[in-house]
Structure formats: structure tokens, C-alpha cells
A and B are shown apart, each in its own frame.
Chain A
Amino acid sequence: MGPLIQQGILSPEWDMIFAFIIGISFGFILEQAGFSTARKIVGVFYGYDMTVLRVFLTAVVTASVGLLYFNYLGWIDISLIYINPTFIWSAIIGGVLVGLGMIVGGYCPGTSFAAAAIGKIDGMVFIGGLFIGVFFYGETYDFLFKNLHDAGNLGPVTLYQILGISSGTLEFFFLIFAIFMFWMTIVITKAFSNRQFKY
């Protein structure tokens, strides 16, 4: 059956309509979860609010378990799903830069839109910064970032292919890791909420 567009069950025009609807759901949930404030996002790193990690991990667990089962049941063909190509060095350095932006600016790209949508000025400024950053990258790409951008290309691989185990095995260990992390979030918040480590 799925993915419906790739399988040609629905015409490509529907793609944009689904994009909009899925976007609404995405934005609604992020805002409802409180991602529209920098407090929650920064809170993860100072241990007083683990909402982001909880939401993030729960979403990943749900989606990956669902995806694997739906693939097994023949509802979604996993081989037709777009998988990000892995470029090791750009992923690591880019990831660290995003992390830096997250802790300095208090948002990540997605959440800043949620913040801006409900009127947070800092969110809007963050978006402005994003545009400048991308523009800067685009302007300097040809002589500055080009080599780094394409370094360490492994192609669109999955973690279980790299580890040489089955997807189910990886998912099982990931679930155990996630359960451990959920427990950790409770422990950490308990430990830190006693001290006045917050604003």
C-alpha cells in the first residue's frame, strides 16, 4: 500500500495537500507540547525540564516501531521511504553547529517557527538568523563549505545495515535504550528541581 504517492496510488498533486495537513498536525503538537518557548528547549541541557527529550524520544519510538511493523504487515514499503544520505563529517559538524545554535539562541529551526507563530519576538529573530545563516552558507558554499559538504559520503544507509544486524534487533536495543532514557529523565529532573538551577 503505502507510501501512497510513491506507489502511484494517489496523484502527485495530493502530495502538497498532505504536506499542509501533516504540517498543521506537526505545528499543533509542537506548540501544545510547549516547544514554543526557549525555556523548555534549554531546560534539557540544564536538567530542569526534560520535555523536549521525552517528546523527541517518544515520537521516535512510536514512529520507528510503527514503521517496522507496518513494513512487516505490508502497509508501508520501507524501501520506498526517503532515507537521508549519510555524510559523516558534515553531519557531525553541522549537528554540533545546530547544537550551538540551539543553546545560544534557545530554539532549533522547527521550534522557532512555533514560537514565532504565537508571537515570541526571540523566535522571530531566531528565524531571521536562520535565513542569514543559510544565505551566508549559500554565498560561501563554492569556496568554503563545498569540500566539507560532500566529505565522508556513505550514501543513504541505515544504522542496522552499518552494524550488520537486522532492523528488528536494532529496534529492540533502541527500545531498551529509550526506556532507560525515560527513566533517566525522571531521575535527572528530580535531582535538579531541588536546586534553584532555573530561571
Chain B
Amino acid sequence: MDQIEEKEQSAISKTLLTGISIFAAIIFLGMVFMPKPQKHYKITEEQMLAKIMSFDGVVGPETIVDLIYKPNAQFQFIDLRSAPEFLKGHLPNSINIPVNHIFDKEYEQIWKQIDKTNILYYSDHAGACGPWMILNQLGYKNNKIMLGGYEYVNENIIKKYSPLSGSFRDEKAKYDFSKIISETSGGKVTAPAGEGEKTGITPVVKKKKEGKSSGGC
């Protein structure tokens, strides 16, 4: 009698069989129809931050000037602006890949290849920063940013090159903010001394090229 009871106990009923089959089927179907993202991040956001903080990946004006006047097979310009803007004017030998098309299949090879370094530019410096960060996070390392962006380069390098042209620094404080505040407040200077002496209200023009150009990204 015990034997029979045990057999019933350990038997697998039809209901269970159906249930488990449905369960497994749901999982398999889910796997088949799961939306698969096309792109994957290759580096974490922490690694990206470390990369940003190390300040490489920017091509300074000296190199740009060189490249504009004697093209080098190791570099190519990528213009991230829209097609009409590109047509209005662009750096020589640029490839136009508007920002919202950088994932297009036809350009994948450009990001992937390692023979030529891509120099990204947008109308301003910050505009190229985002795409550069995305490409970096996807693991495409062979990209750099043109310091200053197209408008800056066009104004200061192509139209009239001057020794100051390399001084583009978006993140450099142009003014001593606290000094301005205290001066316009009509009282004594409350800003910490020392720094306040160096720079005035007027934009600093005496900036020199300080070694490597830094502009972030």
C-alpha cells in the first residue's frame, strides 16, 4: 500500500507536464522574440569618465593647420554637421556624417578602421563632444575631436592665422567671476586676493599656448 502511495507521490501528472511545457515554451518564445539592441556599450561610464578626465582625444590647431595644407593619409576629417551646412563650407577632404546618422551601416567601416584617425568636428567644440563620447563608449577608439569646432577653426585658422589661434579653451574661465560680482556690487573686493589681481573684467587676451591644448573630450 505504501508503495502505491509513493508511486502516486513521485509520479509526474499530465497537468504538471503541460504546465512545465508551457513555462518552458514561454521562455523559449521570449528568447526568440526578444528585442535585441543593435549596439552595445563596450566601456562603462566610469571608464568613460576616466577618459574624459585624462584629456586626450583632442587635436590641437597646429596639427589641424598641417593637415589642412598638406593632407596626410593617416588622418581624415569627419564633418558632423548637417548636409546643407557641410555644403556651405567644410575643411578639405572631409567626410560628411551628420550626427544623427553616425550609426548608419554605411559608415560603420569608417569608425571601425584603424588605418586613419578620424578627426570629428561640429560647428562648435561641444557639439562634437557628444558623438565622440558615444563612439568611444561603443568601443571605437580611433577618433579624435578637432579643438574649437569648425566655426572657430574657420575664423581663426583658415581666415587669419595668428599665434593666438591655439588658445581655444572652452573650459577656461574667461573672467574672474567673483571679482566682477564684487566690483559691480559697489563694495570692497571680497574675492580671494591673488587671483583677482591677474585677470580683470576684460577678457584675457594674453593667454599663451600652454603645452598641449586642452579642451576636454
A residues with a Cβ closer than 8 A to B are: 49-51, 54, 62, 66, 69, 72-75, 185-186, 189-190, 193
Contact = CB atoms under 8 A, between A and B. Distances in A.
A73 B9 CA distance: 34
Contacts of A193: 2-3, 6
B6 A69 contact: no
A74 B23 CA distance: 16
Contacts of B31: 69, 72-73
A51 B2 contact: no
B185 interface: no
Query: Which residue, of A69, A72, A75, has the highest number of chain B Cβ atoms within 10 A?
Result: A69
B7 to A, nearest CB: 10
B27 A69 contact: yes
- Interface size for chain B: under 10, 10 to 19, 20 to 34, or 35 or more residues? 10 to 19
Interface in B24-59: 27, 30-31, 34
Nearest to B27: A69
Given A62-B23, A66-B23, A190 B30 contact: no
B30 A69 contact: yes
Contact of B10 (A72, A75, A186): A186
A38 B34 CA distance: 45
Nearest to A198: B2
Contacts of B34: 73-74
Contacts of A69: 27, 30-31
A74 B30 CA distance: 10
Contact of A189 (B10, B23, B27, B30): B10
